[in-house]
Amino acid sequence: MSYILAGVMCFAVLIMLLWHIWGIVRGETSVEAQDHKVYQKNAKERGEVRKVYSIDKYVPRRC
């Protein structure tokens, strides 16, 4: 029984570790990540979201 509990706890700690590493990679705290979603929704409603093009569709401008 203790092995099952240890396995479940290891899985939970692994998920939390990955969540924190993802936040570190993005440079955000958990509060900033939550706020980012709200700000993104508000900007989309106001029409302030810029389009992001994929690499294969990108054509550089000529000067």
Question: Would you list the DSSP string of 3-62?
Answer: HHHHHHHHHHHHHHHHHHHHHHHHT--HHHHHHHHHHHHHHHHHT-PPP---GGG--PPP
Q: 58 or 2: whose pLDDT is higher?
A: 2
**Domain locations along the chain:** 2-57
Per the prediction, the chain carries an average pLDDT of 81
Mean pLDDT calculated for residue range 45-60: 64
pTM, entire model = 0.53
Higher pLDDT, 29 or 56: 29
Percent of the chain, pLDDT > 90?
29
